[in-house]
């Protein structure tokens, strides 16, 4: 329901200068909100804005200039009820001190459904840039939700979105302290707790710190991951756990450069330099539900081709086809399954997109055909721009782009030229232009005729620009009144004044990677007719609906290995479950011990690839020796045995918006001990991954939530936990992989050297009973590559449950051409051998009981492959 306080009239004050008394400045430092974030920031400027000036003696990070309690930048002029919400008219009451204040702002509160509400702040008198999202599910409904209430107080200017059941204030803003100028918008909101996650992409922990003041700059940048620097993506989304363990989320749809400031009140300030404020609030009430609500808005993850879940090998600077082939086969011969071989930019002719070096990479096409004959795959890289200096008629990507007029232009209307890896100059396609798709598709068709690639890796697409060959003009777009992150916006990228079909680069910069992903996805889909695999460095909300991401140019250190888990968990809550980091690190030389442990962890990234830089030692497993080979073989083989389960998780992400790799607290929301754990993680609800993340040790103090936890390799019950830390030993060539009691996990008893070979083996349902002797789970399977298989009913999806006495599976849908077929059952946690086993009422004798691990193995490939609902009844003396 919508509640609005009833005040019959409003007085508007126009004040040029305000004197501020000391009592209205008596605000605890944790609750001070910045009134003068731009330059100059001094006592005179601050007080001219009607704000309080108080330099901090302890420099705790709180603002020197802050709003007094009686500040009224905007006042409510009127409120208009609508069927699906309300519009509040705000009028500027006093100058913010920033250029070009917006005089009239409309606050639009819009009900999307019972779980989501949208709050927009728009210029009432003029149109402003709004993000052209490729996918946005914004159907509207009347506001009549059992989850939330909305209150707008005309006296105080306070807006609150509260949870109905508890009264918890989820979104709590003082409208009078809104700043809304042409190139600066700021709004602050009080938070309800300090369990905050999101606000990426940064080299940071998964759980954000709110016990001090911290700024998160969001603006796509190509800097190597470094603390307190904006990285490749912009995700103005956070997840918050409330004091009673319920959860909510807030997403700001804005692509302009911004700073997000957290402070210990706790509170958050959103500060952007363009567009509008367009908030989506998700009511959960559980953390997984919040993620589903957000992902259903921005687009559920695309279904990945099955082969992409295998192990990938790459290196920048193999230098030749021969070296690529040699590296690949030496690891295959060592017994390491490699599903996909990759090449970085050294395969190109003079680093030009859509070319192949005719000398050093002669025979690349033959090598790729050889991979295909082994039923394996190949991925190559593509940079964000094409060479801008090739002679006319010699380089189709430049000639076609000029003819189609699809390149980004500078302020004067000329093709903007920078330089990425090309020898002279680079021209950048404008992916906001619809005509670019045909151009981009043509180039990939031409490339396909040279090399029969299976997937595409797009890089440098923030977009990065090594050199400003064309100087940027000196104007407010290049150098706005306030610059998030301090450094110039045009640092190592395209000039903000550049013109694109969708607007100035100033507004669409952070969309470049997403829109290139969309164009590449559509191009490859149109060319091949099957699921594309697209990996992108720069991303934006909706990325997961079209492609995947990796954590970029991380360093080969133990610290970065830990960060890779935080990054993986974070991108799962952004709806990009296909995420991973370069195993063993990209930049700098790894060590045998680091790579040994990282290879174990990296096998359990959803996207698993070993890759490193040109000026480092070779780090494929064989190059680093037998310890790394042993660790890689163990972990990759275990991963392959679990691929049917992993693929099922991707199906649930695709159809429901679920996470694949997830923080432990998603499964144990009442256990506060799990809220800060990011040194271990879960695959879905059923598998717990515990790596070693420190040098010179074989032990780790790992937290096991309440329940039974079985070692997946041995099937033995390892931990009966009431929710506690356990010291466990993990040998050099191992990693902790634990099945949760109560889970049914589809998988294999043995592994194979390729996913195609693996899919021909009989699959098993691994049933791990909980303390009450129960378990449940699902499994999904299809041909692994069709695009519309779900719409066409070309899949198998089964839901199973089990106890000591009965196992049953019901098929939601059945399809014969599957990549996983049930050949048996492994029932774990059985104290004794049954005296009889009936399958749909018929006695079967093909079962074996192990006293060592209390597991019952039931084999009957012919029976299970009938793909029908079944019941297994077990009797004991």
Catalytic residue set: 459, 462
Quick one: which of 539, 534, 538 has its CA closest to 298?
539
Q: b vs e for 802-826, b when ≥16 Cβ sit within 10 Å of the residue's Cβ?
A: bbbeebebeeeeebeebbbbbbbbb
User: Do the Cβ atoms of 128 and 155 come closer than 8 Å?
Assistant: no
Structure tokens at 849: 């009981």
Quick one: which of 82, 63, 71, 69 has its CA closest to 15?
71
Q: b vs e for 729-761, b when ≥16 Cβ sit within 10 Å of the residue's Cβ?
A: ebebbbbbbbbbbbbbbbbbeebbbbbbebbeb
- Looking at the DSSP bridge assignments, the partners of residue 45 are none
Cβ count within 10 A of residue 412: 10
CA atoms within 13 A on the CB side of 683: 30
CA distance 37 to 186: 10
Kindly state the helix (H) or strand (E) to which residue 568 belongs, with its residue range. helix 558-573
Quick one: which of 108, 76, 107 has its CA closest to 92?
76
Quick one: which of 243, 241, 239, 233 has its CA closest to 281?
239
Kindly state the helix (H) or strand (E) to which residue 368 belongs, with its residue range. helix 364-373
Give the burial class of 167: count Cβ atoms within 10 A of its Cβ; 0-12 exposed, 13-18 middle, 19 or more buried.
exposed
CA distance 610 to 432: 33
For the chain, what's the residue count?
877
Place of tokens 């390491």: 336
Quick one: which of 650, 640, 572, 560 has its CA closest to 597?
560
Cα separation values, 103 from 67, 90, 109, 773, Å:
19, 8, 20, 66
Sequence-distant (6+) residues with CB within 8 A of 40 are none
Compute the radius of gyration of the chain from its Cα atoms. Answer: 28
User: Do the Cβ atoms of 537 and 461 come closer than 8 Å?
Assistant: yes
State the distance between the two ends of the chain, measured CA to CA, in whole angstroms: 60
3-state helix, strand, coil split of the chain in percent (to 5) is 20, 30, 50
CA distance 830 to 856: 7
CA distance 600 to 621: 11
Q: Positive or negative, the Cα torsion across 65, 67, 71, 73?
A: positive
User: Do the Cβ atoms of 610 and 599 come closer than 8 Å?
Assistant: yes
Sequence-distant (6+) residues with CB within 8 A of 869 are 808, 809, 810, 811
Task: Give residue 10's Cα distance to chain centre.
Answer: 45
SS3 assignment, position 189: strand
User: Do the Cβ atoms of 753 and 332 come closer than 8 Å?
Assistant: yes
DSSP-derived secondary structure letter, 523: H
CA distance 157 to 176: 6
The DSSP line for 297-363 is HH-PPPPPPGGGGSEEE--TT--SHHHHHHHHHHHHHTT----EEEE-GGGSSTT-TT---TTTTTT
């Amino acid at each position: 329901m919508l509640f609005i306080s009833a005040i019959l009239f409003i007085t508007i004050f126009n004040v040029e200068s305000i004197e501020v008394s000391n009592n209205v400045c008596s605000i605890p430092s944790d609750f001070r909100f910045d009134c003068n974030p731009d330059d100059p920031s001094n006592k005179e400027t601050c007080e001219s804005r009607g704000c309080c000036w108080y330099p901090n003696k302890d420099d705790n990070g709180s603002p020197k200039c802050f709003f007094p309690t009686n500040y009224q930048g905007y006042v409510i002029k009127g409120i208009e009820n609508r069927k699906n919400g309300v519009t509040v008219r705000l009028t500027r009451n006093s100058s913010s001190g920033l250029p070009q204040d917006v005089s009239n702002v409309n606050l639009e509160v819009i009900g999307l459904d019972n779980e989501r509400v949208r709050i927009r702040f728009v210029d009432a008198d003029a149109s402003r840039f709004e993000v052209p999202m490729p996918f946005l599910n914004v159907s509207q409904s009347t506001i009549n939700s059992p989850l939330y209430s909305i209150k707008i107080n005309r006296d105080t200017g306070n807006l609150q979105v509260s949870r109905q059941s508890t009264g918890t204030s989820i979104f709590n803003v003082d409208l009078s302290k809104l700043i809304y100028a042409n190139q600066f918008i700021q709004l602050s909101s009080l938070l309800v707790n300090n369990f905050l996650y999101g606000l990426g992409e940064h080299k940071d922990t998964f759980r954000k710190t709110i016990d001090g003041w911290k700024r998160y700059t969001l603006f796509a940048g190509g800097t190597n991951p470094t603390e307190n620097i904006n990285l490749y993506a912009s995700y103005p989304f956070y997840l918050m756990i409330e004091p009673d363990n319920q959860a909510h989320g807030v997403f700001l749809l804005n692509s302009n450069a911004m700073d997000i400031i957290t402070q210990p009140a706790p509170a958050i300030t959103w500060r952007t330099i363009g567009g509008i404020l367009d908030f989506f609030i998700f009511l959960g009430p559980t953390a997984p539900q919040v993620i589903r609500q957000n992902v259903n808005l921005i687009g559920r993850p695309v279904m990945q081709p099955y082969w992409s879940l295998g192990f990938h090998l790459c290196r920048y600077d193999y230098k030749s086809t021969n070296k690529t082939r040699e590296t690949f086969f030496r690891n295959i011969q060592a017994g390491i399954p490699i599903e996909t071989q990759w090449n970085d930019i050294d395969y190109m002719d003079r680093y030009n997109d859509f070319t192949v070096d005719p000398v050093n990479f002669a025979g690349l096409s033959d090598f790729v055909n050889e991979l295909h004959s082994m039923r394996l795959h190949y991925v190559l890289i593509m940079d964000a721009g094409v060479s801008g200096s090739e002679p006319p008629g010699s380089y189709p990507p430049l000639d076609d782009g000029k003819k189609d007029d699809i390149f980004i232009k500078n302020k004067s209307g000329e093709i903007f030229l920078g330089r990425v890896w090309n020898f002279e100059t680079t021209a950048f396609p404008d992916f906001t232009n619809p005509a670019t798709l045909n151009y981009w598709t043509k180039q990939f068709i031409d490339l396909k005729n040279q090399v029969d690639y299976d997937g595409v890796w797009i890089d440098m697409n923030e977009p990065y620009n090594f050199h400003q060959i064309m100087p940027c003009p000196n104007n407010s777009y290049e150098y706005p009144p306030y610059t998030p992150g301090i450094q110039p916006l045009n640092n190592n990228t395209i000039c903000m004044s550049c013109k694109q079909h969708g607007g100035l680069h100033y507004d669409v910069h952070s969309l470049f990677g997403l829109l290139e992903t969309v164009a590449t996805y559509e191009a490859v889909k149109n060319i091949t007719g099957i699921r594309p695999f697209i990996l992108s460095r720069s991303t934006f909300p909706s990325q997961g609906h079209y492609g995947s991401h990796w954590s970029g140019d991380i360093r080969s250190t133990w610290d970065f290995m830990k960060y890779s888990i935080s990054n993986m968990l974070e991108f799962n809550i952004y709806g990009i479950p296909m995420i991973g980091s370069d195993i063993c690190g990209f930049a700098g030389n790894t060590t045998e011990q680091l790579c040994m442990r990282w290879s174990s962890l990296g096998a359990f990234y959803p996207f698993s690839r070993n890759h490193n830089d040109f000026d480092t030692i070779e780090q494929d497993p064989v190059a680093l020796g037998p310890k790394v080979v042993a660790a890689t073989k163990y972990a990759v083989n275990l991963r392959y045995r679990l691929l049917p389960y992993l693929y099922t998780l991707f199906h649930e992400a695709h159809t429901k918006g679920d996470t694949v790799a997830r923080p432990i607290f998603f499964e144990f929301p009442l256990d506060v001990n799990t809220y800060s754990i990011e040194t271990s993680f879960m695959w879905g609800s059923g598998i717990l991954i515990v790596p070693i993340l420190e040098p010179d040790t074989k032990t780790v103090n790992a937290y096991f939530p309440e329940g039974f936890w079985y070692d997946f390799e041995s099937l033995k019950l390892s931990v009966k936990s009431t929710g506690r830390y356990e010291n466990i030993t993990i040998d050099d060539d191992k990693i902790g992989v634990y099945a949760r009691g109560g889970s049914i996990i589809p998988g294999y008893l043995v592994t194979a050297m390729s996913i195609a070979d693996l899919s021909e083996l009989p699959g098993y349902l691994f049933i791990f009973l909980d303390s009450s002797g129960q378990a449940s789970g699902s499994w999904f399977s299809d041909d692994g590559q069709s695009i519309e298989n779900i719409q066409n009913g070309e899949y198998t999806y089964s839901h199973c449950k089990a106890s000591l006495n009965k196992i049953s599976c019901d098929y939601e849908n059945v399809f014969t051409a599957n990549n996983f077929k049930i050949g048996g059952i492994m029932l774990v946690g059985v104290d004794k051998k049954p005296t009889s086993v009936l399958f749909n009422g018929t006695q079967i004798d093909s079962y074996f009981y192990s006293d060592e691990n209390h597991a019952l193995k039931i084999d009957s490939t012919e029976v299970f492959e009938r793909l029908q609902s079944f019941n297994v009844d077990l009797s004991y003396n």
